Amino acid sequence: MSYMMDKGQKAVLGDKRQSSEPMESSDGVQEPCIWSSPEGGKDEAELGKQIFCNRSLNMRNIIAVGFDMDYTLAQYKPETFEKLAYEGTIEKLVSNLGYPEELLGWTFNWKYMVRGLVVDKKRGNILKMDRHKYVKVAYHGFRELTKEEKVGSYGNTLIRDAFDEPDYALIDTLFSLAEAYLFAQLVDFMDKNPGRVPAKVDYARMYKDVRSAVDMCHRDGTLKQMVAKDPIKYINEDKSIVPLLKMLRDSRRATFLVTNSLWDYTNIVMNFLCESRTLDACNFDWLQYFDVVITGSAKPGFFHEESNANLFEVEPESGKLINTDNGTPMAQVGNTSPSITLKKQNECCRVFQGGTVRHLHKLLSIESSSQVLYVGDHIYGDILRSKKILGWRTMLVVPELETEVKLLWELRDSRKALQLMRSDRDHIEDQIHRLRWSLDFEDLNADQKQEKSALVEDLELQRNQVRIKHQQTQRECHQNFHKVWGQLMKTGYQNSRFAHQVERFACLYTSQVSNLSLYSPNKYYRPGEDFMPHEFNILPM
């Protein structure tokens, strides 16, 4: 593999080394902490486990590292969890919203949808666009739109469409894939069976109904009850989570968890993820790895300091909520002492519900927002708000990246061929331009004009052949990533809209949160330049 390792050139990867430094563990004993940094890609198996950097981040300046839970620490299995969400949503559409019973026989293809898509609610279309918001791939239900249809709907306006709410919905979280697939099915069903859906339902109302059905599944606990009964069926085991948390705490950093899930479900999932592997609701061993846990946080509203959301302390054994004054338990009427005392050294961390980031900063004694690194999976719910409003440092978890990076490496010869074809096409275009300029502005005799005109025709034929071959090869290359939507981070040669959001708001991004344990806790991450960092590391040479 060929790399241009930088000094100011492009992306910098971790040095391959093993370090052993004495660190004080949580019990005060000096113990060696060992980690290794993968050498950027020499081992193909490690390609997808690297941490990629858009914005310089010196971990020595970070005093607190926080995590989201769902799809960050807990990676759900799409073939089971999304199928569960899909089936629950259909059941609500039929039983609560009047949709025909034949929907109950529908099946779910969990590989069809990807993140970064945009739903056009009014037209019933699903779009993939580039960073400039030009629609490159579009489907009406499961029918691909022609170039003329795409231009007619999205390319003829004098004012560029923002593609935002209320007319559009962004599929930027893995939780949204099942509802996007169901919406596409409903669009096809309505087009082929007019009058079979409830009266006065158009595409936009149909999408609203799907969202309402999803919300019903969350409100009545349908999804979380099933996950809680059999976590291993729905959540991937990751034995690197506990070593990661221990490493961060041994490096004298505070760790915290901020999740929208409530305490009962959070406790079950975190018990499963951590070393106890128990479903005992009274086992709280996992709390030893955190300083503060905030459940029911209602992100992204949690990140607004001016929010007036109350902070309650959770009594782990009973789930009882205790009123607090900025985190300090308040005495009940007739009782001068609060029922929960402040955490003492070596005791389990405190658990809260609600509140705002202001409360979190006070609980952890954080003076500067730039001292916090927050790890999440949702660009808008976790990364954009925490970065743009607070100035926290951010790390985005993109599970799809592991497969995508490996494919970039495997397809390096095809990508090199595409670069050469693009170069040939540009060279031919330049020759045609020069010849046409000569025909228009130089004083040529009849024979010279005929000769140059014939040469232009020959070059135009070559250009068309190269263009067709280039387009076909490029399409085949993208279909290796996904048959319908292509590469997650690209649309043609442009970065996709999803990649653009990753670049803007994520200081770091990686495929799994546990990849942090592969690097020194004091690592200095530095960015690349012209390319997405993961893309540059495996450019064909």
Q: Which residues are catalytic?
A: 68, 70
DSSP state of 386: I
- Lookup result for tokens 């609203």: 208
Structure tokens at 360: 């979190």
How many whole angstroms separate alpha carbon 442 and alpha carbon 346? 87
Alpha carbon distance 474, 467 (integer Å): 10
| C-alpha closest to that of 316 among 341, 347, 350 | 350
* E strand or H helix that includes residue 466: helix 446-481
Name the amino acid, one letter, at 143.
Answer: R
Q: How many Cβ atoms sit within 10 Å of the Cβ of residue 136?
A: 17
> Which of 403, 529, 400, 519 shows the shortest CA–CA distance to 47?
403
Write out 52-110 in H/E/C secondary structure.
Answer: EECCCEEHHHCCEEEECCECCCECECHHHHHHHHHHHHHHHHHHHHCCCHHHHHCCCCC
Paired sense of beta strands 508-510 and 52-53, if any: antiparallel
- Integer-rounded Cα Rg, in Å, for the chain is 27
Estimate the share of the chain in helix, then strand, then coil, as percent rounded to the nearest 5.
45, 20, 40
> Collapsing DSSP states into helix, strand and coil, what is residue 31?
strand
- Please, which residues have CB within 8 angstroms of residue 324's CB and are 6 or more apart in sequence? 311, 312, 313, 330, 352
3-state secondary structure of 472: helix
Give exposure, 300-337, as e/b (b: 16+ Cβ within 10 Å): bebbeeeeebebbbbebeeeebbebeebebeeeeeeee
The 3-state secondary structure of 226-268 reads: HHHHCHHHHECCCCCHHHHHHHHHHCCCEEEEECCCCHHHHHH
What is residue 411's three-state secondary structure?
Answer: coil
Tokens 């607090």, residue located: 324
Please list the residues that pair with 33 across neighbouring strands.
21
